[in-house]
Chain A
Amino acid sequence: MSLLEIKNLHVEVEDKKILNGLTLTIEKGQVAAIMGPNGSGKSTLSYVLAGKDAYNITEGDILLDGESILELAPDERAAKGIFLAFQYPVEVPGVATMTFLRTALNAQRKLRGEAEYSTPDFLKLVRETSAKLGVSQEHLRRAVNVGFSGGEKKRNEILQMAILQPRLAILDETDSGLDIDALKTVSEGVNRLRSPERSMIVITHYQRLLNYIVPDVVHVMSKGRVVKTGGKELALELEAKGYAQYSDEAA
């Protein structure tokens, strides 16, 4: 069975149609890139998968392990293994990063009926994971994302992903706002998490990120649906020719 099946998904925001019959399947362990021009619905897809309200699903379904997740709240989806690395991670003043990580990890484990992490085990996990991603102890003590640079925020997203160990990670424009060094660090962090047990949806506007996170499959989105699917070479083709041909086709 496929891990994720999106079937004929129609989504509106404030009566504006954003997704228009999107169909997409993600296999277990697969890394799928989703590319497309601005406004093609890539970020909407990521929010809808994570369960943000404000989106009105008018038709279609999203199946995880063959079961619909449309009725599940964001925390329940997280417990089932869905993780969204935000394009713009929000600042949460007053909530220390460590408290946040621990609350999230234990909340998920509790929902899954697993034992909570003990304090020493948790500290060890965070210390080891943060060291690999170059996230300092100082950042862990600070409030979530408050005063972090763009790159630090993205690294913090990958740190959360590494600690929460999702089965389906959605990386929404993780490359935006990163310089080349930060891009490498973040990509290495992501690549370390590749496994036959973990699927990833890598949403990006540019091919650059895909040099570092090499996808198994590339989907092109335009006007709220997938218009073309191919191998990793499709990304290079898009880089050379641009999105214009797909915009015309969908028009």
Chain B
Amino acid sequence: MNAEVRAIKTPAEQALVSAYERTRAALPSSSAVADLRDEAFKRFDAKGLPHRRVEEWKYTDLRALMRDALPLAGAPDAASKAKAKDAGKIFASIVSRKLVFVDGAFVPELSDLSPEAGLTIGSMADALAKGDALVAAHVGKVFPTDDIAVALNTALMGDGAVIHVAAGTVLERPIHLVFASSDTPSSNFIRSLVVVEKGAQLTIAESHEQNTSQVHAALELVIGDEAQVDYFKATQTRGLHVASLILNAGANVKFNTFALNSDASLVRNQSFVRFSGEGSVGGLRGVNLLRSKEHVDTTMTIEHAAGHCASREQFKSVLDNESKSVFQGKIVVKPHAQKTDTKMMTRALLLSDEAEAYNKPELEIFADDVVCGHGATAGALDPGLKFYLMSRGIDDKQAEALLIQAFIGETVEEITHEGFRDALMNGALEWLETRG
């Protein structure tokens, strides 16, 4: 009875397997990349889509949720490129360098490729095809994981951004990766690599305005010693969005990430973060604004592999109707990572009796001189506070909006970049205004 038990493949799994087999030769690959793809595909083929019996995917059963896999995106046509000119509006108020992608494919003619000292920008498809040295050095190696969503992305990765910021470079403007959808729903496998060398500083944002497409994205972010990175991600989707952030921080690094999900049907944002040098400080934060049957899953593994680092995780979800939020935060402190200081907090505000919030903090601590705290709350709006506001003339909806704004404000206020702080708060306020 030692034969390997293989589940019958679902239609989505079958479609993904056949997509790989049919397009393998056409995917952008040097020979080394082809091997990387084959190895990743083999793992996907063996395990299939992650499902509820895989602990990390317990509350987001991708096998059940993905009824089918859409065909891979074709090259964007003129009409979809024209439409993409207006995409990324959540960050439109910020003066930034825009790089535009349609259905995951880089569109150079819509992108700002003006030269800047210390900055190199390229398309991932080009880099994969020509065996680019930066890609060879980092893709799949930043913080290796056996996660199947990452393996699936590696097997089918099509295009994305490759950004290199040379040592000591402080970029003038934030970089905004604009991901737009055409009118034809498709599967997009987006892979990006961002390498920030020693002492450099980068502010980078990603906006996804997605139709019913299925987006599988992965971003590998390498932060060199003494570098500083701020990363913002805003996701709107009527389809499926599975994104992995794979981050490796060197010594004395400062980084912050912030994710806003609003009007997002089905999102899995997973982060794999490793502190590999001493003295670094990292913050991971986010706000989810959910309604109808939306489902947003935030899952992270934060590995403190070096001592004297601090991490802060703070996530807030506002849930209306029958929406569902999942937070799984695992903090691992390696045996020699003494003086690690972590604090993880997740809070859910339930606006309806049918909404569900799942919170699962996990700590694995192998060092003895650390401070690691976590907390999780879920609750409704305080009727006493609401009455107080209403007794001053503020109506029911506006009173709730003020209290919701206050609830998420605590997390949004942590953003130090004024432009992004305002843009993300305005994004949240727009959601509140459209609340029925």
Q: Which residues of A contact B (CB under 8 A)?
A: 50-54, 73-75, 77-79, 83-84, 86, 89-90, 92-95, 99-100, 103-105, 107-108, 111, 143, 160, 164
A52's closest neighbor in chain B, by CB? B387
Q: CA of A99 to CA of B407 in the docked complex: distance in angstroms? A: 15
- Contact among A54, A73, A93, A99 with B390 in the assembled complex (CB-CB below 8 Å): A73
**B interface: dominant SS:** helix
Q: A94-B405, A94-B407, A95-B402 are in contact. Are A107 and B384 (CB under 8 A)?
A: no
Q: A51-B391, A92-B385 are in contact. Are A75 and B406 (CB under 8 A)?
A: no
B382's closest neighbor in chain A, by CB? A90
In the bound complex, do residue B406 and residue A92 qualify as a contact, i.e. CB atoms below 8 Å apart?
A: yes
Q: A79-B393, A103-B398 are in contact. Are A94 and B409 (CB under 8 A)?
A: yes
Q: CA of A84 to CA of B391 in the docked complex: distance in angstroms? A: 7
In the bound complex, do residue A108 and residue B385 qualify as a contact, i.e. CB atoms below 8 Å apart?
A: no
Q: CA of A77 to CA of B389 in the docked complex: distance in angstroms? A: 12
Question: Can you list 9 A-B pairs with a CB-CB distance of less than 8 A?
Answer: A75-B396, A78-B390, A84-B391, A86-B388, A92-B385, A104-B394, A107-B392, A108-B392, A164-B392
Q: CA of A54 to CA of B188 in the docked complex: distance in angstroms? A: 52
Enumerate chain B residues within 8 angstroms of A75, measured Cβ to Cβ: 390-396, 399
Enumerate chain B residues within 8 angstroms of A84, measured Cβ to Cβ: 391
Enumerate chain A residues within 8 angstroms of B409, measured Cβ to Cβ: 94
Q: CA of A42 to CA of B93 in the docked complex: distance in angstroms? A: 53
Q: CA of A79 to CA of B398 in the docked complex: distance in angstroms? A: 15
Q: Is B414 an interface residue (CB 8 A)?
A: no
B399's closest neighbor in chain A, by CB? A75
Q: CA of A99 to CA of B389 in the docked complex: distance in angstroms? A: 12
A34 to chain B, nearest CB (A): 18
List of 5 A-B pairs having minimum Cβ-Cβ separation, nearest first: A94-B406, A108-B393, A78-B393, A104-B392, A74-B390
Q: CA of A195 to CA of B390 in the docked complex: distance in angstroms? A: 25
Q: CA of A53 to CA of B387 in the docked complex: distance in angstroms? A: 9
A108's closest neighbor in chain B, by CB? B393
Considering only residues 213-253 of chain B, those with a C-beta below 8 Å from chain A are none
Q: Is B403 an interface residue (CB 8 A)?
A: yes
Most buried by B among A51, A75, A89, A99: A75
Most buried by B among A51, A54, A104: A104
Enumerate chain B residues within 8 angstroms of A51, measured Cβ to Cβ: 390-391
- Contact among A90, A93, A99 with B384 in the assembled complex (CB-CB below 8 Å): A90
In the bound complex, do residue A94 and residue B392 qualify as a contact, i.e. CB atoms below 8 Å apart?
A: no
Q: CA of A168 to CA of B203 in the docked complex: distance in angstroms? A: 54
B285 to chain A, nearest CB (A): 15
Q: CA of A221 to CA of B406 in the docked complex: distance in angstroms? A: 39
Enumerate chain A residues within 8 angstroms of B391, measured Cβ to Cβ: 50-52, 74-75, 77-78, 83-84
Enumerate chain A residues within 8 angstroms of B390, measured Cβ to Cβ: 51, 73-75, 78
